[in-house]
Each structure stands twice: as C-alpha cells, then as structure tokens.
C-alpha cells in the first residue's frame, strides 16, 4: 500500500482537487493568512517567524508544567547523538516572547505588536477540528499593561474573522485576575472539591494538586456534572480591586467601539502564564466545546523565561477551525486564479516559440504554455481546464508572421495580435 500521511495531519491541496474541502484548500489557507496580514499590519503589527522546534525547557516553562499540552501532547524531536531536548512548538507565544527577549526587541517602540502564522503541533486525540498539526495566526503585544491594548487586541481578532466574511463569531470574555486572586480562588476550589475526591476524574484529582482552576476546564462529563451540582463560584467573583478595574476598563472600550462580547465567568485558559483578561472566540459551526481562538494577558511569561518583568497580551486563532466556520456559514473564499493566457503551438517545431511568448507575458501576468503541439480544439479545452482567460495559438503561418491568434474564452472573440504587442494587449483587456 502506498504510504500515507501521519494521523492528525492534513495536506493543503490545490484548487480543483477532487473532493476538496474548504479546510484542505491551500488557497483558502493563504486567503486567511493574507486577510490577517492586512488587518494586523494596518494595526501596526510586524511579522515575526520563530523556529518550529524549541528547547523543551522553553515549552515547559512557557506553557506550564501542569497543562495537558506539556504532560501529554508534546512531540519530542530526536536526532542522531542528541538527548531529545527539543519540542515541536505547540503554540506560538512562548517562542515569540523568547525571540523578543533574546533579540533585544525591547529597543523597538513600545508596545511592540508582533504577528506570526504557521504550524503548531500537539499529540491530541484526533477528531474534526482537532489535529496534531494545525495552523494558527498569532498576535502578540509586548510591553504594556494598559487595558486599551487588551481591547485593541480583541477588536483586531474579531476584525480578522469578520473581514473574511464570517458573521457568527462570538467573543466570550472573562478575567482570571492577578496571581494572588488566583491563589485565593484555588484555595476555595480545593476546599470545594476535596470532600468529593472520589467523584473527580483521575486527571482532575491530579489538577486539584497542581492547578485546581483547570478542573473547570475538564472535558469529563462527570467532572462537569459535579461542578454544576456544587454550584462552584466563578473566578470573576474573586477578582481583586486592580484586576476588577482593569477588566471594567477593557469592557468600557469594547462597548464604546461596538465590539460585541458576552461576559463568561467560566473562562479559564489552560496555560499557566495568563493574567487578568482572558477570552475565547466561538462559533456554532465548530461546536460549543471547541473555540475558533483564544487570547489573554500573560504578564508573567517573560519573567518565567528568565527575562525582566514585561507585560504582554496576545491571541491565536486556528486557521482550520476558521475555515470550518466559514464553510458552515456558506461563505466562499475566491479560489486561486488561472493564468491570464494559455499559449500553445499547433506544430512541434513551434513549441519553444509558444513557451517564449508565455515567458514574456509572465513579466506582467500569469501565463502557461503547452509542452507539446495541440490541435486547436484541444488548445481551448486545455486553456479552459486551467481557468485561463485567453488562449493564444501559434501555427507555422502565425510564427512566420510574428503573430498569435488570441481568443477570449468567455466571449469567443478572436483576433490576431503581434507577439511583440501581446503583453500590452492582454493587460489592456485583462
Ligand atoms: P490554544 O493555544 O489552545 O488557546 O488554541 C488556540 C486556537 O488554536 C484554538 O482556539 C483552536 O482554534 C486552535 N487549536 C488548538 N489546538 C488545536 C488542534 N489540536 N487542532 C486544531 N486547532 C487547534
């Protein structure tokens, strides 16, 4: 049997592939990235790329030792003679903050807005919209604790998906407070759950030790039933004065700008370095349990990585999930365009000349050519299959006179154009 791709990975296919789904389309992917680029760069964000693999220690410290990602889902990279101390990145933030610290990006005007996109890797249970290699657009703002930065980040995230034509994305907004607020909340959670240890899932018993807040995030139905039964109070009830004021300020900005959100007291981000503002972007098309994206403030991360205290906020959305949501809404992203012209020779001796004509057109527009001589009827057929706007034919007679027969495939209109003028003629009529 022919070899197959690893479970939980996808091929991003060219337009026109058989059975092409939206979330498999390479051109739909690049459309999402292109739209994000426009939105984020208009907002002052600069593109950054970091390695796909990083020191295991960075991921451990950056993502948090108590998270499922670090405990169960890391892809370790081994190579000959190495100790296996590298990890395929499971998310973008830790690498971006490491790069910020390592490359002295503090020198750039603050707050520094960075964006990136690319593949992330988590060894998860594979299901629809849950892959082992998936792709994110990430936005990070480093160097400000101001609530205005949080509100702007949320606005930009919403704008990215709206600009793609997605209507039904909803922000669920919460705050997870400052570390001391979380300590008080964790103490409350320990107190609430400890009498019911026997009813908690194994994972959640473990979480009760390490990070009780993460029990609220549990995927186990019995954990969720217990949480409901106990009437566990939300983190929002435990915000200290500063965190509460910051949260109110974020909301005031969003309200004033008309950015819709629902306050969701149950928002708990799975990553340890989050502080204060936390949010998720949801859409019915990807199901209630899965988010399109998530974000939050992570003032604690830079220090965790050995740098100075550096406030920051950021978000990421999953490109595959955005494509699933777009498909659910019936929004069609334009497919990639065919060439402006398909050039073909009618005789074997002019195949090279047809190619040369196409090469000249490529200075200004897309041009393809036939690799062997074709009959006129087949030229049109091949041109149409490639989605060309024009077909150009060169027989021996045309070659002798330095012209091509140019046919507009839509209207059927045909005329003779000198090869020298072809570029300009095509552009004028494109
Ligand atoms: P997180 O870093 O876990 O907050 O994830 C941010 C976003 O990345 C999620 O909301 C998803 O859209 C996407 N994402 C995370 N994990 C996966 C996965 N295993 N497969 C596909 N998308 C994912």
Output the domain CATH number for residue 58: 3.30.930.10
| DSSP per residue, 366-401 | -EEE-SS---HHHHHHHHHHTT-SEEEEE-HHHHHH
- Mean pLDDT, residues 388-415: 94
Atom of ligand 1 nearest to the CA of 91: 2
In a shared domain, residues 84 and 168: yes
Which of 307, 328, 349 terminates a domain? The answer is 328
The SS3 call for residue 281 is strand
Structurally, how many domains does the chain consist of? 2
In a shared domain, residues 307 and 373: no
pLDDT(66) > 60? yes
In a shared domain, residues 323 and 399: no
pLDDT the model gives residue 270: 56
In a shared domain, residues 144 and 70: yes
Are 386 and 346 in contact, with CB atoms under 8 Å apart? no
Give the Cα separation of 406 and 81 in Å (integer).
61
Give the Cα separation of 367 and 382 in Å (integer).
13
Q: How far is CA 287 from CA 28, 223, 224, 227, in A?
A: 21, 20, 17, 21
- Mean pLDDT, residues 216-230: 87
Of 83-87, 151-155, 165-169, least confident by mean pLDDT is: 83-87
Mean pLDDT of the chain: 91
pLDDT digits (tens, 9 = 90+) for 99-138: 999 999 999 999 999 999 999 999 988 988 899 999 999 9
Whole-number Å distance, alpha carbon 321 to ligand 1 midpoint, is 8
Give how far the C-alpha of residue 64 lies from the chain's centroid of Cα atoms, to the nearest Å.
22
pLDDT > 90: percent of the chain: 69
Q: Name the pTM for this structure.
A: 0.90
Of 138, 318, 320, the one to substitute when testing ligand 1's pocket (max ligand atoms within 8 A of C-beta) is 318
Of 123, 289, 290, 316, the one to substitute when testing ligand 1's pocket (max ligand atoms within 8 A of C-beta) is 316
Atom of ligand 1 nearest to the CA of 322: 12
**Residue 184 falls inside a structural domain:** no
Supply the range of the domain harboring residue 43: 22-177+239-328
Give the Cα separation of 413 and 406 in Å (integer).
8
pLDDT(77) > 90? no
pLDDT the model gives residue 306: 93
Q: Which of 6-20, 54-68, 140-154 has the highest mean pLDDT?
A: 140-154
Which of 302, 328, 354 terminates a domain? The answer is 328
Whole-number Å distance, alpha carbon 90 to ligand 1 midpoint, is 9
**Residue 267 falls inside a structural domain:** yes
**Residue 410 falls inside a structural domain:** yes
Give the Cα separation of 333 and 165 in Å (integer).
9
CATH number of the domain at 366, please. 3.40.50.800
pLDDT the model gives residue 288: 66
In a shared domain, residues 354 and 312: no
**Residue 268 falls inside a structural domain:** yes
Which of 285, 301, 328 terminates a domain? The answer is 328
**Residue 187 falls inside a structural domain:** no
In a shared domain, residues 320 and 245: yes
In a shared domain, residues 320 and 347: no
Whole-number Å distance, alpha carbon 157 to ligand 1 midpoint, is 15
In a shared domain, residues 81 and 106: yes
pLDDT digits (tens, 9 = 90+) for 103-112: 999 999 999 9
In a shared domain, residues 157 and 278: yes
In a shared domain, residues 321 and 421: no
In a shared domain, residues 251 and 390: no
Give the Cα separation of 391 and 379 in Å (integer).
7
Whole-number Å distance, alpha carbon 201 to ligand 1 midpoint, is 23
pLDDT(272) > 70? no
By CB neighbour count within 10 A (0-12 exposed, 13-18 middle, 19+ buried), where does 258 fall?
A: exposed
Atom of ligand 1 nearest to the CA of 286: 12
Query: Which residues form ligand 1's pocket by a CB distance below 6 Å?
Result: 91, 122, 124, 129-131, 134, 136, 291-294, 316-318, 320-321
* Cβ count within 10 A of residue 341: 29
| DSSP per residue, 106-163 | GGSSSSEEEEEEEEEE--PPPBTTB-SEEEEEEEEEES---HHHHHHHHHHHHHHHHH
- Mean pLDDT, residues 217-239: 88
pLDDT(170) > 90? yes
In a shared domain, residues 289 and 413: no
pLDDT the model gives residue 64: 78
Give the Cα separation of 247 and 277 in Å (integer).
7
């Amino acid at each position: 049997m022919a070899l197959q791709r690893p479970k939980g990975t996808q091929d991003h296919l060219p337009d026109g592939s058989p059975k092409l789904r939206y979330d498999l389309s390479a051109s739909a992917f690049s459309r999402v990235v292109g739209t994000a680029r426009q939105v984020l760069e208009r907002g002052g964000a600069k593109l950054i790329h970091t390695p796909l693999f990083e020191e295991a220690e960075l991921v451990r410290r950056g993502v948090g030792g108590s998270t499922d990602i670090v405990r169960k889902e890391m892809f370790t990279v081994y190579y000959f003679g190495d100790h296996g101390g590298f990890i395929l990145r499971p998310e973008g933030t830790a690498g971006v903050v490491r790069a910020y610290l390592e490359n002295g990006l503090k020198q750039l005007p603050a707050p520094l807005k960075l964006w990136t996109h690319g593949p992330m890797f988590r060894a998860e249970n594979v299901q629809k919209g849950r892959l082992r290699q998936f792709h994110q657009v990430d936005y990070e703002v480093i160097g400000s604790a101001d609530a205005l930065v949080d509100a702007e980040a949320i606005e930009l995230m919403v704008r990215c998906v709206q600009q793609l034509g997605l209507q039904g994305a909803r922000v669920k907004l919460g705050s997870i407070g400052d570390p001391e607020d979380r300590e008080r909340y964790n103490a409350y959670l320990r107190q609430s759950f400890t009498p019911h240890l026997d009813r908690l899932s194994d994972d959640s018993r473990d979480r009760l030790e390490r990070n009780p807040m993460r029990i609220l995030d549990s995927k186990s139905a019995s954990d969720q039933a217990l949480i409901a039964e106990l009437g566990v109070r939300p983190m929002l009830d435990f915000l200290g004065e500063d965190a509460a004021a910051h949260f109110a300020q974020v909301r005031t900005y969003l309200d004033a700008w008309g950015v819709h959100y629902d306050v969701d007291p149950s928002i708990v981000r799975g990553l340890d370095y989050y502080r204060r503002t936390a949010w998720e972007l949801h859409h019915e098309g990807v199901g209630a349990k899965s988010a399109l994206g998530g974000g939050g403030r992570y003032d604690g991360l830079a220090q965790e990585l050995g740098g100075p205290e550096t406030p920051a906020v950021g978000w990421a959305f999953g490109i595959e999930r955005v494509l699933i949501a777009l498909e659910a809404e019936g929004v069609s992203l334009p497919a990639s365009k065919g060439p402006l012209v398909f050039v073909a020779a009618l005789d074997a001796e002019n195949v090279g000349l047809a190619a040369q004509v196409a090469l000249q057109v490529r200075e200004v527009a897309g041009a393809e050519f036939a690799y062997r001589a074709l009959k006129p009827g087949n030229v049109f057929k091949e041109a149409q299959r490639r989605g060309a706007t024009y077909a150009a034919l060169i027989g021996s007679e045309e070659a002798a006179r330095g012209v091509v027969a140019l046919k507009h495939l839509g209207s059927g209109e045909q005329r003779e154009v000198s090869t020298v003028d072809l570029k300009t003629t095509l552009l004028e009529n494109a």
